[in-house]
Chain A
Amino acid sequence: MTRKKEFRVLSPTAILGYGFPEESFNRGLELMPDLIAVDAGSVDPGPYYLGAGKSFTDRAGVKRDLRFMLKAACRLDIPLVIGSAGGSGARPHVEWCREIIEEIAVEESLHFKMGIIYADISKEVVTEALHENWIEAIHGVPELTVETIEKAECIVAQMGVEPIQEALKTGCQVVLAGRAYDPSVFAALPIMMGFAPGLALHMGKILECAAIAATPGSGSDSVMGIVREDHFELVPLNPIRKFTKESTAAHTLYEKSDPYHLPGPGGMLNLKDVRFEEYPDGRVRIYGSQFEPSVQNMVKLEGAEKIGFRTISIAGVRDPIMINQIDSIIETIQTNTMQTLKSEKIEASLHFHIYGKNGIMGGLEPEKDAPTHELCIVIEAVAPEQKSADSACSIARSTMLHYGYPNRIATAGNLAFPFSPSDIKAGEVYVFSIYHLMRIGDEPLFKSEVIEL
């Protein structure tokens, strides 16, 4: 194979399903991309989606985006790589996305070979790794235990470029990957073609957010990345946006704890010597991104555990006498409710979110005594059974409604409810129980299959 001098990657949108202007996407196609790649996932929306096996993106939005991408990939005969399918990238999420792709293939009479890579890791594999001392807690995360592994609803690992490269090597035009390290979907093919992993991965790091790194930024617009021998170039595809040195550098900070050292599967992206060159047409070239392979190959595990069910009640307080002593009132309501629950043998935990006081920052709120004339209180009850959560929320709400706090003048009721019913069942509650690094051996960790559509 003669080595190409450059490799063009079209990134249609920041998250599959967030959309993009058709004009931007078409402009990208005119530049003859060698690959279309898209990241479909994030842990941002919290543990529910991984635990419950549901997507945080809308099915219609995902189908719309995928239709453009699949048609373009088939027409130009280039690969399409989708990572972290369905948002969280576990098996139910991948199946959800696969079904959408199959529907489009039928509707548009498209025919292609598709590689499907699952990111689910069996509990046996993780338990064995734990016993081998191959598990490492990420900063701020409790050490992993066998019990936590057992209780996990599902466990996924962020895949690197290798499983995607394997699928591409078998001639798959579409690769549908479960949970993946975001840059992998963009970097797998250029690295396979011989481009520098540091450049390809750093480019992937930016392309995974599409136009968010441009100015003005957008999560719903297409951009292109071109990797060459000693640099990569970012190309805006919408005339209202451009990449600047500043917008690109600022993006490198985004959601990362250390912008110089970005660890991922198989090694670390070192950006100490990175250099940005800005061009008047809105393009930026980036030089000097280095990849340092690690001695031990590690993957990041993500797991969610179901801890019960939630019921909430939303209420307002306008009475200044009550607002002035809200902390002590909440403390009393909490104590009284817990006593009632205990005597009724109902297991539940209660949280009070006090908007107008510290509802947004909780314990981190430094403004402890700022005056306010109204409060919004969200009573949150979490219990192993939905009916226990309902009871706990109901008892806390009714206790609070009629509690005779000191110096009370308004004796008819303490809370203003915007809704009837006042209590809302919020369903299953999950927590992130696993967020650890796992050392891996030489045997393939990710299961895959190839289908013909």
Chain B
Amino acid sequence: MLKKITDVARVIRSKNCSPFELTLDIIFEKTSIYEKVKQGNLINAKVIAKAYGIDEAMINGIVYFDPAHAVKINLPRPVPSGAPGDTDVYGAQQHAPLLKLKLQV
């Protein structure tokens, strides 16, 4: 069934993991949904690249983390934290494009 990610994920967030890199977390509500997402590799570089309108090669990594039934995605910051032209020093508001995702779970 095609479901909105906001109906199956409990947490969707972004944050700096260094002044030069962003990390996005999607924590699923239920282990069963997480397993489906993981088995089907439903959160992959192609999906993220499309959501953000960026090149797949820009994505630094996607990690599935079983203990928290979560997926982590790492992106480079377009501008380092706090440097002129930066828009989000903490990187805490870069998650919104993920909220539009739909998953076949």
User: B2-59: which have CB < 8 Å to A?
Assistant: 11, 15-21, 23, 25, 27, 51-54
Q: Is the CB of A432 within 8 A of B23?
A: no
A-B contact pairs, 29 of them (CB 8 A): A43-B18, A43-B19, A43-B81, A44-B16, A46-B81, A46-B82, A47-B19, A47-B82, A139-B18, A140-B60, A141-B18, A250-B11, A252-B65, A252-B67, A253-B65, A257-B23, A259-B68, A259-B72, A310-B84, A360-B87, A361-B88, A361-B93, A361-B96, A364-B53, A364-B94, A366-B51, A431-B83, A432-B80, A432-B81
Determine whether A246 belongs to the interface, using a CB cutoff of 8 Å to chain B. Answer: yes
Chain A neighbourhood of B15, CB < 8 A? 254-255
Partner of A364, one of B21, B67, B68, B78: B78
Q: What residues on A are CB-neighbors of B20 within 8 Å? A: 138-141, 432, 435
A362 vs B11: C-alpha distance when bound (angstroms): 23
Report Cα–Cα, A255/B68, bound state, in Å: 14
B84 engages A307 (CB within 8 Å): yes
Q: How many whole Å from B82's CB to the nearest CB in chain A?
A: 3
A366 touches B97 (CB 8 A): yes
Cβ contacts B69-93/A at 8 Å (1 or 0 each): 0101011111111111101111001
Contacts of B17 in A (CB 8 A): 255-257
A218 to chain B, nearest CB (A): 16
Within the assembled complex, what's the spacing in Å between the Cα atoms of A450 and B67?
A: 43
Q: Give Cα A254–Cα B25 distance, bound, in whole angstroms.
A: 8
Q: Provide the residues of chain B in CB contact with A253, threshold 8 Å.
A: 23, 25, 27, 65, 68, 70, 72
Interface residue A260 (Cβ < 8 Å from any Cβ of B): yes
Are B65 and A139 within 8 A (Cβ)?
no
Chain B positions within 8 Å of A380 at CB level = 84-85
Give bound CA distance, A161 to B63, whole Å.
29
Encode A361-377 as 1/0 by CB contact (under 8 A) with B.
11111101000000000
Known: A349-B84, A351-B84, A363-B78. A257 touches B21 (CB 8 A): yes
Question: Quick check: is A181 within 8 A (CB to CB) of the other chain?
Answer: no
A360 x B78 contact (CB < 8 A): no
Task: Tell me the count of chain B residues lying within 8 A, CB to CB, of chain A.
Answer: 43
Chain B residues in 8 Å Cβ range of A274: 67
Residues of B within 8 A of A259 (CB): 63, 65, 67-68, 70, 72
User: How many angstroms between the C-alpha atoms of A349 and B83 in the bound complex?
Assistant: 12
**Closest chain B CB from A260 CB (angstroms):** 7
Q: Cβ of A341: which chain B residues have Cβ within 8 Å of it? A: none
Apart from A258-B72, A360-B93, A361-B93: 10 A-B pairs, beta carbons within 8 A: A43-B16, A45-B90, A140-B21, A141-B20, A249-B65, A250-B27, A252-B67, A253-B70, A310-B84, A364-B75
A121 CA to B83 CA, complexed, in Å: 23
Chain B residue contacts of A252, Cβ below 8 A: 65, 67-68
| A181–chain B nearest beta-carbon distance, Å | 14
Residues 381-402 of A contacting B (Cβ, < 8 Å): 382
B83/A362 in contact, CB under 8 A: no
| Shortest distance between the CB of B103 and any CB in chain A (Å) | 18
Given contacts A249-B67, A253-B65, contact A432 B83 (CB under 8 A): yes
Partner among A140, A260, A431 whose Cβ is within 8 Å of the Cβ of B63? A260
**Alpha-carbon gap, A89 to B13, bound state (A):** 28
Assembled-state Cα–Cα distance A450/B16 (Å): 36
Encode A412-440 as 1/0 by CB contact (under 8 A) with B: 00000000000000000111100100000
Task: Looking at the assembled complex, report how far the CB atom of B78 sits from the nearest CB atom of chain A, in whole angstroms.
Answer: 4
CA distance A46 to B82 in the complex (A): 5
Provide the bound-state CA to CA distance between A423 and B45, in Å: 43
